[in-house]
Amino acid sequence: MPDHCLRAPAHGPDQPAPVIVAWGAGVDSTAMIIEMAARRDRVDMVLIADMPERSQTRSFVPIFRDWMDGHGIPNEVVRYQPKRFKHWPPYADLLENCLTNATLPSIAFGKSACSAKWKVAPQDAWTKAWPPAQQAWAQGQKVVRLIGFDCGPRDSQRFAHAEGIDSALFEYRYPLREWGWDRETCKSRIRREGLPVPVASSCFFCTGMKPDEVRELPRSYLRLIVLMEARAAPRLRTVEGLWRKSTKGLRGREARPGSMTEFIRIEGLLPSGEIDDIIAHAPADLISFQDAAALVPLAERTPLRTWIDRFNAAADRLGA
């Protein structure tokens, strides 16, 4: 294992400050929790942010939450709560936010990832209302937050960036790096526990999705990708779509268009007629729904999720 990963723990087992795990439902943080339970290391709470994840992740989350419950590890699902809807229908997650504002996730424009707003912020808000954290801060302590960065090259880069960030409220620890674990070690540990190895955790429309991952998506998710790009299309100037720019497939990478919709069409993942129908009609219908919502007080507005459910049901009927 790389020597730079072998670091002494920042806190001993008797440290009174509470310990929280930021669980992303991926390989690394899952293996970290399993091993900490085996070592009887202290974990006071595990938090996961509710996101529009791929179906495999949504299936894995309750499996591992049951495992944590069986091992006496407290865990909670947290959610970012949008509050300023202006004249729009209320929305609840990143997908609905993008559809409301006719845009794509910020990462599609080359900006910072969406995790700060939709993952980190709700975990911070939950922790600030948590009595053990409040008591620790009142005593001048920092809450210990455990992050699942492994010793692989990619996570080493992420760790190098995170290591220099100082927080008045949290002390960050990286147990996988303390143990010298890489990603394959994490996968092996999950298998030895008798659990399925989770897929990479991401929203099903993430710019970081690989072509094979898009190919595996169910039709319902593919339709929502087409809808998202169609809704944002009039405002796109610098990118083609969720994948930003077309790539030629150099250095072993697969060539792909910048638009996931175009990829879905080329690959035949949805019929071209269905794609064209979504592009031609769904954004306009959504705008009509928004216009109707603007005429009534916020408390009486129908949530955007209702329109999405209606869109999905209609698409299922037409695609049957």
At 25 the pLDDT is 95
pLDDT, one tens digit per residue, over 197-245 is 999 888 999 999 999 999 999 999 999 999 999 999 999 999 999 999 9
Whether residues 246 and 133 fall in one domain: no
The reported pTM is: 0.88
Q: How far is CA 242 from CA 214, 229, 268, 311, in A?
A: 12, 7, 18, 21
- Considering the domain architecture, whether residues 231 and 155 belong to the same structural domain is answered as no
Could you tell me if residue 218 is inside a domain? yes
Cβ atoms < 10 Å from Cβ of 271: 13
**Residue ending a domain, choose from 162, 192, 222:** 192
What is the tens place of the pLDDT at every residue in 4-61? 343 333 433 445 799 999 999 999 999 999 999 999 999 999 999 998 888 899 999 9
Residues 120-174 have pLDDT tens digits of 999 999 999 999 999 999 999 999 999 999 999 988 888 877 776 789 999 999 9
Number of domains in the chain: 2
- DSSP 3-state of 236: coil
- Domain that includes residue 8, residue range: 3-192
Residue 114 has pLDDT above 90, yes or no: no
State the pLDDT at residue 3.
Answer: 40
Counting runs of H as helices and runs of E as strands, what totals does the chain give? 14, 5
pLDDT at 320: 67
Which one-letter DSSP state was computed for residue 48?
A: E
pLDDT at 209: 92
**pLDDT at site 113:** 66
pLDDT for 2: 42
Examine residue 87 and state whether it is found in any structural domain, yes or no: yes
Q: Is the dihedral of CA 200, 204, 208, 212 positive or negative?
A: positive
Give 237-264 pLDDT, tens digit per residue: 999 999 999 998 767 678 899 999 999 9
The DSSP code sequence of 271-304 is -HHHHHHHHHHHHHHHHHHHHHHTTS-GGGPPPH
Q: Token digits for 290?
A: 């928004």
In a domain, 122, yes or no: yes
What pLDDT shows up at residue 318? 79
Closest to 183 measured CA to CA, from 156, 213, 214, 203? 156
